[in-house]
């Protein structure tokens, strides 16, 4: 391990309290689940973009896509550093992420290049939705680690800023018809919800194997409480926007 990586890991271990969000185990674990999943999604999205760049029609997007790939790679690097905290706590991240990896492997194996890119564009729309929710959440002020708050804030801003890159590449390469992109969003959303629930559940069981249901019940109510983390009407509104025939991510609000 390099000295730089070792000192970054040590900073994450020593500077960040175990339950760094409002001293609350569930809220902390929910955000940590997002951090665990992020590099897996980024690997899939980077691969789909990379595979499509070889097409002549993608030339117009080449420079912006190269910057996009670098930015997503940097997100993954930073989140891997943060996520190693969880390994040090005894969390089996590999087991938690097994369904996410299975879903990504399935898509890589069975979807054609255009289908993978439509799925990647859907992932980016969901990332933008979650990023906007995060940046608007009043509960961000309860994060008790500046280092962690900076990591999540930077990632959310970047996701909103580059929200159109994959969508534009999809259109430039002849994909992005209404049926293809909306069915991709539906499929990615179902798989995404299952994967998030699974990863949060692994973390909850790690903390409180005997109080799993009670932890879920109380925690989910806190996540959904007004002004906390998730606003179902806002998420649904942003999700439905993608179904409009003339939708473009520029119509989605920025940071």
Binding site for Fe ion (CB under 5 A): 72, 75, 127, 159
**Using CA atoms, how far apart are residues 170 and 189, in angstroms rounded to an integer?**
19
Please, which residue, 70 or 218, has the CB nearer to Fe ion? 70
191-210 per-residue burial string, b: 16 or more CB within 10 A, e: under 16: bbeebbebbbbbbbebbbee
Least distance from Fe ion to the Cβ atom of residue 76, Å: 7
Q: Which residue minimizes CB distance to Fe ion?
A: 75
Least distance from Fe ion to the Cβ atom of residue 79, Å: 8
Is-contact 46 123, C-beta < 8 A?
A: no
Least distance from Fe ion to the Cβ atom of residue 203, Å: 21
Read off the DSSP letter of residue 209: T
Tokens of 75: 């997100």
DSSP H helices, the chain, are: 3-15, 25-53, 62-88, 93-96, 98-110, 113-136, 146-161, 165-172, 178-207, 212-224, 232-241
Please, which residue, 75 or 116, has the CB nearer to Fe ion? 75
Please, which residue, 25 or 117, has the CB nearer to Fe ion? 117
Please, which residue, 192 or 219, has the CB nearer to Fe ion? 192
Please, which residue, 52 or 127, has the CB nearer to Fe ion? 127
Please, which residue, 32 or 72, has the CB nearer to Fe ion? 72
Least distance from Fe ion to the Cβ atom of residue 11, Å: 21
Least distance from Fe ion to the Cβ atom of residue 222, Å: 26
Least distance from Fe ion to the Cβ atom of residue 135, Å: 14
């Amino acid at each position: 391990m390099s000295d730089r990586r070792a000192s970054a890991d040590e900073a994450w271990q020593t500077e960040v309290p175990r339950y760094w969000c409002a001293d609350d185990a569930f809220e902390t674990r929910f955000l940590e689940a997002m951090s665990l999943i992020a590099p897996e999604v980024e690997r899939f999205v980077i691969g789909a973009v990379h595979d499509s760049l070889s097409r002549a029609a993608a030339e117009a997007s080449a420079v912006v896509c190269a910057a996009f790939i670098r930015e997503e790679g940097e997100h993954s690097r930073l989140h891997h550093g943060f996520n190693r905290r969880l390994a040090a706590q005894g969390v089996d991240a590999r087991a938690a992420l097994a369904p996410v990896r299975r879903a990504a492997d399935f898509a890589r194996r069975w979807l054609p290049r255009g289908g993978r890119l439509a799925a990647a564009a859907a992932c980016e729309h969901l990332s933008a939705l979650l990023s906007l929710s995060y940046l608007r959440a009043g509960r961000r002020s309860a994060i008790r680690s500046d280092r962690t708050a900076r990591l999540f804030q930077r990632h959310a801003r970047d996701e909103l800023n580059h929200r159109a890159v994959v969508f534009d590449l999809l259109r430039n390469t002849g994909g992005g018809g209404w049926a293809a992109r909306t069915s991709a969003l539906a499929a990615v959303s179902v798989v995404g919800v299952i994967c998030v629930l699974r990863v949060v559940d692994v973390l909850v069981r790690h903390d409180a194997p005997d109080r799993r249901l009670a932890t879920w019940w109380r925690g989910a109510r806190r996540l959904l409480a007004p002004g906390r983390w998730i606003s179902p009407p806002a998420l649904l509104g942003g999700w439905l926007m993608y179904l409009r025939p003339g939708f473009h991510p520029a119509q989605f609000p920025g940071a």
